[in-house]
Chain A
Amino acid sequence: MLLVLPPLVLLLLMVIPPAALALRAAAAPIAALELLNRPLLMAVALSLTTTAMSTVIILILGTPLAYILARYRFPLHDLVNLVVELPVVLPPVVAGLGLLMAFGRSSPIGALLQQFGLALPFTTVAVVMAQVFVAAPFYVRTAQVRFAAIPNELDEAAAMSGAGQWTFFWHVAIPVSRSAMLAGLVLSWARALGEFGATLMFAGNLPGRTQTMPLLVYGAFERDLNLALWTGLVLVAIALCALAVGRLLARGSSLPTAPLP
């Protein structure tokens, strides 16, 4: 009995806020039509398009990284691992500050871009960059664990049939790891969707260009609590769906799944 009490407290702490949000939003006298107001629609559209872009980028750039980390030993392997893990533990607003220092107009890179009339802060590209920075580790970790668990028999079979490294990667490793890769993508997509601190710092906050759903919640809180509540509720619903889909996909994988990084 005593063992059950602490978990119960923790579970309550985690379940009450989303529940309270739902109850408060449901009690809010908001007509369904009112939900379709411009800021909410723009934020939803922006959140969905930017997270789609960042997820594709993470897939293309992260898969080779996860594969190499999983299957090859090289000098600085541990350092690379550390770099990949860093965004997970770094406070997002610090990540945003770092992005600003690295790519802002006052940085060398920023100054170079300005030569071509380009600037990164306050653009939708900056939103995608912030999302990729914070969300990539979630995919890379998941894929890496899965790639590392590919049984040696498959390698031996491939070697015997004369398959090269690229062939193995494309025709064996990826198909075998598909479920875990998808689960990792769902996780990183959800993280990108919820990104707030780095976006606010680096990309700024402008409806239609950089104001994602979390930023809308923050801004709407002091102007239109109902809008904030309902936007928050949509995000909670999306988060729940993402987790459910992730679980289903992970169960489809034939090997043990990666724990949450």
Chain B
Amino acid sequence: MVFAASTLADAFDEIGESFATQHPGVEVTFNYAGSSTLAAQITEGSPADVFASANEKQMGVAQAAGRVTGDAPIFATNHLVVITPIGNPAGVQTLADLARPGVHVLLAAPGVPVRDFAEAVFDRAAAESSFGSDFKQRVLANLVSEEQNVRQVTAKIALGEADAGVVYVTDVTSSVSGQLAVVEIPPQFNVAAHFPIGMISDSQQPALARGFVDFVLGPEGQRILAQWGFSPPPSG
């Protein structure tokens, strides 16, 4: 049982299949949700073998609960993008447009890593005079809903229910890219999201859990992750 952040769904499904092929008789099941939800479930004692989080803060929650005791290496890096429905009804062309009055913005709920990263991006932009020091407040004033995970944000934008959302580049998959338009975030404002993975200490299948973690960190796992838009972990 692998608990993984929502944005990892496609990549990990494929990794799970590949892992199962190499370990006949093994079935890998996944629980995808916002990392904060997963960390809370882990804290409450949910049975699990591996936890792949979208940020180190939620991995820290699992570690503080004593359920991840070994190391939790970074296995991937991710970046944020702004997405709008195809056709861009509100004419969101740049990051600054998120603060334009009347634009309906969707973000994940506080605590979900992609929300923390998005606010970090807004803070960085606010430091630049052209955005204005109240940039983050103005974007948050445009918020119409706070979703439980990043894929909910993506789905609602794809449906056209809101004007713009902030998600990971890995959420713009082939199944939704036809319904989305992507607005790049200038690199100087974007964050490098480091995704850690750790074994659950009381896993009922420690050898397999270890094997899965190694698989994700190994060449095949990394290849699949890259295919789905993830960047490699920082070297060293």
Contacts and interface: CB of A to CB of B under 8 A. Distances in A.
Nearest to A121: B161
B145 A122 contact: yes
Interface residues of B, number: 20
A205 B146 contact: yes
A221 B147 contact: no
A204 B148 CA distance: 10
Contacts of A49: none
Given A122-B104, A205-B109, A222 B40 contact: yes
A104 interface: yes
Given A122-B104, A205-B109, A219 B161 contact: no
B36 A223 contact: yes
Contacts of B104: 119, 122
A215 to B, nearest CB: 10
Interface of B: 34, 36-37, 39-40, 104, 109-111, 143-148, 156, 159-162
A205 B147 contact: yes
A106 interface: yes
Given A222-B36, A222-B39, A223-B111, A100 B145 contact: no
Contacts, number: 53
Contacts of B148: 200, 205, 218-219
Contact of A221 (B40, B161, B162): B40
Nearest to A203: B145
B101 to A, nearest CB: 14
A32 B39 CA distance: 28
B234 to A, nearest CB: 27
8 contacts: A105-B161, A106-B159, A205-B145, A205-B147, A209-B144, A218-B148, A221-B40, A225-B40
B159 A219 contact: no
Contacts of B37: 221-222
Contacts of A122: 104, 144-145, 161-162
A226 interface: no
Interface residues of A, number: 20
Nearest to B159: A106
B71 to A, nearest CB: 24
Contact of B111 (A105, A206, A222): A222
A212 interface: no
A205 B161 CA distance: 13
Contacts of A105: 159-161
Interface in A12-56: none
Smallest CB-CB A-B distances: 5 pairs: A204-B145, A222-B40, A122-B144, A222-B36, A106-B160
Interface in A137-169: none
A257 interface: no
Interface in A196-214: 200, 204-207, 209-210
Given A105-B160, A204-B156, A210-B145, 10 more contacts: A104-B160, A105-B159, A122-B144, A204-B147, A206-B144, A209-B144, A219-B148, A221-B37, A222-B39, A223-B36
B36 A206 contact: no
B160 A223 contact: no
B161 A104 contact: yes
Nearest to A210: B145
A97 to B, nearest CB: 10
Contacts of A221: 37, 40
A223 B34 CA distance: 12
B144 A204 contact: yes
Nearest to B33: A222
A170 B166 CA distance: 55
B146 A223 contact: no
Nearest to B37: A222
Interface in A177-209: 200, 204-207, 209
